[in-house]
A and B are shown apart, each in its own frame.
Chain A
Amino acid sequence: MRKVAYYKGCLASLSAKELDSATQALAPKVGLELIELESVTCCGAGDIHEAEPDYYLHLNARILSYAAAEGVDTLLTVCNVCTLNLRQANFMLLGDTELRARVNENLVAVGVPAYEQDVDVRHLLWEIAEGEGYELLKGAAHKGLKGLKIAPFYGCQILRPSKIQGFEDPDRPWSLERIIQACGGEPVDYPAKIKCCGFPIIQAREETALSELIQPIEQAYEAGADAIVTPCPLCHLSLDAWQSKLKKSTGRDFNMPILHLSQLVGVAAGLTESELKFKRHVVSVKPVLEKLEA
């Protein structure tokens, strides 16, 4: 078991509790012992970075510092946007000793330990798409997905900017497809899988956002997907919860179930509803589960 610090972020703590519960249940099966960070806040979701960027840097430094204080070298995330925010702040601090010293001074002034020991921020997706995590995943996914057609949706910020994320080719990613296959599913290909779902502007510019949101859902639907899987709870929120708005504006009812990455692997690994909490989804996951039982 490899010990890693675990940063849930806002969504998995609040409206996407199912992601947290599925991740906690899945972790030991893929060789991860999660040390949940308690004294942490929101990473700012790109919004604090835009509103008060210096505060954004300090909030994220505080999260990194509490992760380092656990004596681990990896901070595990389950959200695209958390991953980018934390990695970006981390690179700013690691690459600029003066900046790091100033931020540390501020941290210490309010009673937070200085961020001394470097940690690496990694998304769960990267941990299980290769190496030991991937080997364990193949063994754990014994129940399988029985050839279900799954559309991978990466979203933006796990791929771009690649100079900060850098795990895979941002135009030809492979990690979700590899995981879907390892779980016995059939990955469905479609162009919008690396595009934006519109979430960041879904409140401020709803129409623009919905024109983005419809693309992956429509394309996955047309490619015959049984469900979409995403590594990001914000993508999940817009794809799942805002799908009903598409019906209103386009008259089309896609009824496309949206799964969190941890849930998809969790189903294949035989985790139960009490851990996966599909009941919390807006679009019913039942058709998928029925196909699996059949």
Chain B
Amino acid sequence: MITINVNGKNMRVDSDPDTPLLWALRDDLHLTGTKYGCGVSLCGACVVHVDGKPVRSCTTALSTVVGKKVTTIEGVDADRIGKAVQAAWQKLDVVQCGYCQSGQIMSAVALLKTNRKPSDADIDAAMGRNICRCATYVRIRAAIHEAARSLA
């Protein structure tokens, strides 16, 4: 048993320490908002925050997050920026299939935490490794600007 802190709560997980955080979240804790897309850090569908920083949970061993704070899409609205990003996403109807969007939102929230007024180039740099097969990129960009405006 390993105890990790997810969305502000301590949770016990019955998995080996080297299990990727992704599968512990999804299969043990049934926090299924974090998605599997590639398993090898290529797509960004699995992005969560560890101590506020974006990480790819598919290649993050469970043992490395012990004692740290994990935030998933299910808990991101506890924070003002998280709420603003979700609201912008809803206002602009960014989603299509939606499967990549938890990861997109987590990456966008992480960007806005360190950069309150990102330029298009900042967005390209921060979001460049989050694939959306539905190519909702036009609206992802617009929603990040929208969230930045609403937070200003």
Do these two chains really belong together in a complex?
A: no
Q: Give me the interface of A with B, judged by CB distance under 8 Å.
A: none
